[in-house]
Amino acid sequence: MNTLLLSLANLLTLLASFLGVNQMTTVIVSPLTTTLSIGETQLIVEIADTDVTREHGLSDRLTLPENAGMLFIFNTDDYHHFWMKDMNFPLDLIWIDDNWRVVEITPNISPQDFQKIYQPQSRVRYVLEVNAGFTTRHSIKTGEQIVLK
């Protein structure tokens, strides 16, 4: 799968140069997705579980579908930090412990705050990025259980 993605990226680069496109945005695609639920709300999430996918996150994307997100999976519980580098839309961050419980929510983070670092008050294992306002629209609260489908 990774070889196929690399081949496609190379083909797009070659095509762009043939068409005279001088600059092309690199997009790191996470081939892994899963469905999860928080209460009655279901989301399709991309998995960011490598240093490369976690570092790139949702950067450079123009939008995110309403019931979609990116789930960052870490190997250890820690005060994992996030920032809005190269983001084009605001986000809510849902901080999740190793028991898959929501322990904190950081709402409405603006791309203009790209220099600010965000981290939870307690150690977490997972972080879910969703569109800003998602947690309010779906009444997501701390203590809620995340269920992977």
Q: What is the CATH number of the domain that holds 62?
A: 2.60.120.1140
Residues 18 and 87 in one domain: no
Residues 5 and 18 in one domain: yes
Give the single-character DSSP code of 111: G
H or E element, residue 134 = helix 134-137
The amino acid sitting at 39 is G
Query: Which residues are bridge partners to 20 per DSSP?
Result: none
Please compute the mean of the pLDDT values over residues 10-25 and round it to a whole number.
46
Q: pLDDT tens across 96-141, in order? A: 999 999 999 999 999 998 889 999 999 999 999 999 999 999 999 9
Query: Which residues are bridge partners to 101 per DSSP?
Result: 145
80 or 149, which is more confident? Answer: 80
Residues 57 and 11 in one domain: no
* Contact of 95 with 141, CB cutoff 8 Å: no
How does residue 32 score in pLDDT terms, banded at 50, 70 and 90?
confident
Given a cut of 70, whether residue 20 has pLDDT beyond it is: no
**Structural domains counted in the chain:** 2
Residues 12 and 61 in one domain: no
Whether the model pTM is above 0.85: no
Q: What is the pLDDT of residue 27?
A: 44
Residues 105 and 136 in one domain: yes
Q: Find tokens 């600010």 and name the residue.
A: 116
Domain that holds residue 103: 32-148
Residues 94 and 143 in one domain: yes
Number of CB atoms found within 10 A of residue 139's CB: 11
The burial class, CB within 10 Å (0-12 / 13-18 / 19+), for 39 is: middle
Residues 3 and 71 in one domain: no
Q: pLDDT tens across 41-50, in order? A: 999 999 999 9
Residues 23 and 38 in one domain: no
136 to each of 20, 98, 126, 132, how far by Cα in Å? 45, 23, 20, 9
139 or 10, which is more confident? Answer: 139
